[in-house]
A = this chain, B = another copy of it.
Amino acid sequence: MAGPTKPKRATVRNVAEEAAVSIATVSRWLNGSIKLPAGTAERIRRSIDKLRYEPNLHARRLSLGKTDTLALVVPDIADPFFATLAGSVEAAAESFGFGLVLCATLNRPAREVDYIGRVYRNHVDGLLFATNHPDDGTLLSAIEGQSGVVLLDEDVSGVNAPKVFCDNRGGGRQATEYLVAAGHRRIGFIGGVEGVMSAVERSEGYAEALNAANIPIDPGLIDFGGYTAEQGRSATRKLLERAEPPTAIFASSDQIAIGALDVLRDAGISVPGEISMVAYDDVAPFNFFSPALTAVRQPVADMGRRGVERLVSQITDPAFEMTVERLPVQLMQRGSVAPPANVYRFGRLIKTWRNRR
């Protein structure tokens, strides 16, 4: 017995023949660019049913030069932040009649550039781009002149494209203000990759809040490195080695917070008893952590949806205007912030958690 052979699909020609009509008639009728007398239309309809005709996608794309497909480029799809983003982008694209292909760059510049080229090469009609490392000009020149790219979450400096970001500065400020209001003055800041917009802005928000409270900024409390758990671990270790460790830590991503918690737990330091913590992103199930982690929640799903809206209108509307949008973030107050164990009175250090060992 022969192996399973590929079933032969019907083409427009077959349908036209079956319906005793020309190819063009079938094609135009299908695309609604002509109306036909009831009899003819019915014959075509029947032939299509009978032959189980479905248009060949590739032929259609070749002919039309468009794909009705968008791409979402993210560093890593297994990261819950980007997975959530991907979910909302998928749904939004679908609602606009677009398919979605998901691309993970694993932060390899070559892959990023390759994916960006896909819109030029007509693989997709448009592309949502999210990165998480600073650009050395490679991305800029890859995106430059490319129409149909919108930047999500993170900027690529110099690029002229529609952008949808979250309010990083506001988030950084809110988190820090909250810690300051709880009485903290030595607040560690663990940031993402140095130079990346979101990291810079969150640190600016941090600085703003400290300035507003007349708290001098101690560069030794600030550490950049990446939105990873590993960065959370190493930065926290460094902070703990200081003569005066912070009484609170602002971790600027979920993963950083998770790494920081890891180190704190190993060191036997209680949260928030000895050190308070605020995280950022809030896509991890922080309310099940112990303590439930206070975090700045980014509207990840909104960002995805909005990005698709912008992209689709860029593709379809010739009078499209590029904009930069900032989505508001929200501080989710839970249980990882308490007044500092280090108490200063009249400017003198009375007690630090180290004394309590």
Residues of A within 8 A of B (CB): 3-4, 7, 9, 54, 56-59, 61-62, 67, 76-80, 83-84, 86-88, 90-91, 99-102, 104, 106, 120-123, 145, 147, 258, 261-262, 284-285, 287-291, 318
Contacts and interface: CB of A to CB of B under 8 A. Distances in A.
Given A78-B83, A147-B4, A99 B102 contact: no
Contacts of A56: 62, 121-122
B101 A101 contact: yes
A113 B88 CA distance: 21
Contact of A289 (B88, B91, B289, B318): B289
Given A77-B102, A78-B84, 20 more contacts: A7-B120, A54-B121, A56-B121, A56-B122, A57-B121, A58-B61, A58-B62, A58-B122, A77-B87, A78-B86, A79-B83, A83-B86, A91-B104, A99-B101, A101-B101, A102-B102, A258-B288, A262-B288, A289-B290, A290-B290
Q: Which are the 9 A-B pairs with shortest beta-carbon distances?
A: A290-B290, A78-B87, A83-B83, A58-B62, A102-B102, A58-B61, A101-B101, A78-B84, A77-B87
Nearest to A255: B285
Contact of A90 (B3, B54, B77): B77
B121 A104 contact: no
B78 A104 contact: no
Contacts of A100: 101-102
Contacts of A285: 258, 284-285
Contacts of A284: 285
